[in-house]
A and B are shown apart, each in its own frame.
Chain A
Amino acid sequence: MGKVVVVTSGKGGVGKTTSTAALGAAVAKTGKKVALVDFDVGLRNLDLIMGAERRVVFDLVNVIQGTAKLSQALIRDKRVDTLFLLPASQTRDKDSLTEEGVGEVIDKLRSVFDYVFCDSPAGIERGAQLAMRFADEAVIVTNPEVSSVRDSDRIIGLLDARTMRAEQGEQIAKHVLVTRYDAGRAARGEMLSIDDVLEILSVPLLGIIPESQDVLRASNLGAPVTLSEPLNTAAKAYIDAARRLEGEDLPVVVPFERKGFLDRLLGRRAA
C-alpha cells in the first residue's frame, strides 16, 4: 500500500506545484513508483511544470466520470520511468470532483504506486479539502511571511479536522516545507526566521528551500528542478526533503550557514 501525501498551503503562489513536482521527481529517482495528481481543477499547472502539457489527453475528471480509464489518463514522465502524472481538467469546474470518485481513484493509485502526491489548489474550500481528504501525510508549503504562515495555520486546522484519518481518530503526519527562504533577509531581521515559523506552527520541518533563480528556470523549461539541475542549492534542498519524507533522519541545515561558508570558500554569488 502506497502513501498518499497532500502538498498544501492555503495561500496561493507559495510553491505548491513546484514543490510537488520537485519532491515527486526526487522520490521517483530513487526507484519508487510515484504518481503526481493535480487537484487544481480548472487551473491546472502541474502538467506545465512537468513539461507534459502537450501530452494531456484525459484527466482526473474523465477518470472520475468514467469516460477514461485511470491507465489512459496517467502520463509517464519521459525522464524518469517510475514517475507518472494525473492531470487536472482544464475545462470543468471544481464541482466535477466528487468525494466518492476521488476516493476510488486514490485507492487505485495507492495499490499501484509507492507514493501518491496530491497537488492541492489554493484556498480552504472544496477543492483543497478533497485534495487532503484521503492523505496519510501532508507537506505544508510555507513562505516565511505573515500571510502565508497564517494560512498554513488554517490548513493545519483543516488537516486535523476534515481528513479521513482525523475523522477516524488517527493522526495525519504533517511536515512544514519552507520555500523562498532568503538567508540574507532573515539574517537582517527582515524576514521571519525558521525558528519563528516552526514555533508558531509547531509542526516539524521537512526542509528549507532557498529563494532561487534555478527554480524559475526549471519551471520555464518544464522540468522539476531536482531532475534538470540536481546539483544546485534549491534542488539539493528538495532532494534532502524528499529523503526526510521517506523517513531518513537527515539534519536540516539553515541555508545561511551553508551558503555563507561555501560561497565565501568558492567565491560564488549567492544562488
Chain B
Amino acid sequence: MMNVFDLFKRRSSAPVARERLQVLLAYERRNRSQPDLVSILREEIMAVIAKHVQIDQDYLQVSMDRGETMSTLEIDIQIPNKSAVPMAIAG
C-alpha cells in the first residue's frame, strides 16, 4: 500500500507545482498591480503584525478607495486564535 502511494505521489509532482504556482502568482500579480503606497503599507503592517503573531499573508487585506477629496484605507486583519497565543506571551 505504502509503496503504491509513494509511487503515485512521486509521479504527480507536476500538478502540485502547477497549483502552487497558480496560487502564488495570483497573489504576487495582485500585489504588483496595486499602487505603490498600498503595497508599502501592506508590507509594513505585515511586519508589525509578524512581530507579535504569525499570520498567513492571505489574512491581511489592504485596499485603498480613492475618492475625490479623500481616500479611504481599508485594513482587514484576521488573526487565528491558535497562532496568537504562544507569540503574544513571548512578546
Q: Which residues of B contact A154 (CB under 8 A)?
A: 28
Contact B11 A190 (CB under 8 A): yes
Task: Verify if A104 is at the interface (C-beta below 8 Å from B).
Answer: no
Distance between Cα atoms of A190 and B12 in the complex (Å): 7
Which of B14, B18, B25, B28 contacts A186 (CB under 8 A)? B14
A146-B20, A157-B32 in contact; A192/B25 too (CB < 8 A)? no
Task: Give Cα A255 to B10, complex, Å.
Answer: 23
**Contact across chains for B14 and A150 when beta carbons are under 8 A apart:** no
Contact present for A190 and B29 (CB under 8 Å): no
Q: Count residues of B near A (Cβ-Cβ below 8 Å).
A: 16
What residues of B have a CB within 8 angstroms of the CB of A199 in the complex? 18
**Complex Cα–Cα for A234 and B13 (A):** 26
Residues in B whose Cβ lies below 8 Å from that of A186: 14
| Interface flag for B24 (CB, 8 Å) | yes
Does A188 have its Cβ within 8 Å of any Cβ on chain B? yes
Q: Indicate whether B22 reaches chain A with its CB closer than 8 angstroms.
A: yes
CB pair B32–A189 under 8 Å, yes or no, is no
B89 interface hit (Cβ, 8 Å): no
Are A200 and B22 touching (Cβ within 8 A)? yes
Query: Would you call B28 and A196 a contact (CB within 8 A)?
Result: no
Q: Judging by beta carbons under 8 Å apart, are B11 and A192 in contact?
A: no
Residues of B within 8 A of A203 (CB): none
- Cβ contacts under 8 Å, B25 to chain A: 150, 153, 200
Query: 7 closest A-B pairs (Cβ-Cβ)?
Result: A196-B18, A189-B14, A189-B11, A146-B17, A157-B32, A153-B25, A189-B12
Binding site for B on A (CB under 8 A): 145-146, 149-150, 153-154, 157, 186, 188-193, 196, 199-200
Known: A153-B25, A192-B21. 14 other contacts (CB 8 A): A145-B17, A149-B21, A153-B28, A157-B29, A188-B11, A189-B14, A190-B14, A191-B14, A192-B18, A196-B17, A196-B18, A200-B18, A200-B21, A200-B25
